[in-house]
């Protein structure tokens, strides 16, 4: 909270550009994978600084009325890039050398740095400038989250979502389509694109939406999303005896719907955090959220992989989403009680 968020974003992109350029210079004369892993680790750390700073900056330069709208636009742009990115990446890797690609990536980050210079932003000056330790700040952030009952319940819900749902891309979806239904990896990639397309459509809807208050429908959207995932797992069991491409068509249609609803959930949830968490705590809040989410994600993958090896990815999918529905009902019941009290 003590640092200018625009400066953090600028420094992050500039350093990333420099690191990719260093990789370019290094790989002209050597090809050590250890050095590549080290630079990749540093870039990932920098990207987390960028992610957290950009969320807080987004809160500061928007009003509470425009946050959801522009988060929807951001979701649209991010998912559009996720769809066309692999296509562009494939073209670049088949056309140019690895060293030239490193230069292109470095230049892209530098252009991003130049564009960010024009962001109109003034740091809020009434934030505390007292010196404090990392652990003291971390503890204060935890205590703040625990003291805000509604925020705390949504925080817990986000943790469970990362544990039960974040494993879909690595374990559940390939476990059903590739391992069980023997669908090719190319067609599996198409199913991923359909999910992204659903997210793009949802992002456009949120940007232009002025009628529906998605936050008020959040519980229903959570349950509907998990219900669709349960149904998709059940259909995997039912349709297995038929032509496998029948289920594939069903799967990509469901992925489109799930992509839409997931965005309808994520955007108002993030917007709610940005509206309701005070600016002086937002950096710590999103840092703690990222810390626990990144910790639970791999555990969720480990759990899903272990369970899927015994009962199948589709049955695991059903169990995960039944658990999510139960947790959503409990969390929203706690939120309702907190509002009443």
Q: Pseudo-torsion of CA 243, 249, 252, 255, nearest 10°? A: -80
Contact 276, 150 (CB under 8 A): yes
Supply the pLDDT for residue 114: 92
Q: Is the pTM of this model over 0.85?
A: no
Query: What b/e readout covers 257-276, taking b as 16+ CB neighbours within 10 angstroms?
Result: bbbbbbbbbbbbbbbbbbbe
Q: What is the 3-state secondary structure of the chain? A: CCCCHHHHHHHHHHHHHHHHHHHHHHHCCCCCHHHHHHHHHHHHHHHHHHHHHHHHHHHHHCCCCCHHHHHHHHHHHHHHHHHHHHHHHHHHHHHCCHHHHHHHHHHHHHHHHHHHCCCCCCCCCCCCCCCCCHHHHHHHHHHHHHHCHHHHHHHHHHHHHHHHCCCHHHHHHHHHHHHHCCCCHHHHHHHHHHHHHHHHHHHHHHHHCCCCCHHHHHHHHHHHHHHHHHHHHHHHHHHHHCCHHHHHHHHHHHHHHHHHHHHHHHHHHHHHHHHHCCHHHHHHHHHHHHHHHHHHHHHHHHHHHHHHHHHCHHHHHHHHHHHHHHHHHHHHHHHHHHHHC
**CA 287/CA 228 separation, integer angstroms:** 31
Name residues of the chain where pLDDT drops below 50: none
> 143 is written with which tokens?
């205590």
What is the pLDDT at residue 138? 76
Which CATH architecture does the domain made up of 134-340 adopt?
A: Up-down Bundle (1.20)
- Domain boundaries defined on the chain: 5-64+96-116, 134-340
Note the pLDDT of residue 129: 53
The C-alpha angle 29, 109, 170, rounded to 5 degrees, equals 85
Termini Cα distance of the chain? 31
Closest CA to 292 of 105, 162, 166, 204: 162
**The predicted structure's pLDDT at residue 123:** 63
> Which tokens in the block code for residue 114?
């130049």
> What tens digit of pLDDT does each residue of 155-207 get?
888 888 888 887 788 889 999 999 999 888 888 888 888 988 999 999 898 88
């Amino acid at each position: 909270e003590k640092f200018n968020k625009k400066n953090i974003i600028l420094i992050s992109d500039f350093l990333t550009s420099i690191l990719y350029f260093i990789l370019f210079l290094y790989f002209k004369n050597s090809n050590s994978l250890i050095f590549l892993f080290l630079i990749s680790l540093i870039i990932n750390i920098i990207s987390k600084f960028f992610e957290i700073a950009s969320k807080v900056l987004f809160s500061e330069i928007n009003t509470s009325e425009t946050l959801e709208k522009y988060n929807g636009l951001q979701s649209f742009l991010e998912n559009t890039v996720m769809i066309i990115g692999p296509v562009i990446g494939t073209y670049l890797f088949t056309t140019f050398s690895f060293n030239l690609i490193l230069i292109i990536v470095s230049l892209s980050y530098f252009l991003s740095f130049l564009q960010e210079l024009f962001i109109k932003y003034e740091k809020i000056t009434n934030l505390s400038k007292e010196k404090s330790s990392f652990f003291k700040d971390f503890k204060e952030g935890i205590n703040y989250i625990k003291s805000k009952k509604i925020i705390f319940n949504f925080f817990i819900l986000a943790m469970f979502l990362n544990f039960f749902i974040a494993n879909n891309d690595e374990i559940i979806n390939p476990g059903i389509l590739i391992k069980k239904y023997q669908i090719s990896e190319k067609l599996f990639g198409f199913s991923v694109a359909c999910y992204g397309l659903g997210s793009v459509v949802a992002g456009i809807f949120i940007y232009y939406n002025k009628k529906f208050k998605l936050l008020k429908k959040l519980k229903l959207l959570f349950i509907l999303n998990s219900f669709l995932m349960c149904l998709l797992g059940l259909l995997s069991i039912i349709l297995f005896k038929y032509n496998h491409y029948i289920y594939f068509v069903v799967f990509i249609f469901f992925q489109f719907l799930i992509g839409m609803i997931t965005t309808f959930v994520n955007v108002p949830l993030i917007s709610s955090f940005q509206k309701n968490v005070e600016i002086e705590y937002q950096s710590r809040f999103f840092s703690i959220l990222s810390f626990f989410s990144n910790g639970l994600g791999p555990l969720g993958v480990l759990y899903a992989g272990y369970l899927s090896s015994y009962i199948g990815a589709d049955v695991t999918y059903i169990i995960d989403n039944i658990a999510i529905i139960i947790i959503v009902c409990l969390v929203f019941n706690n939120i309702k009680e907190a509002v009443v009290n």
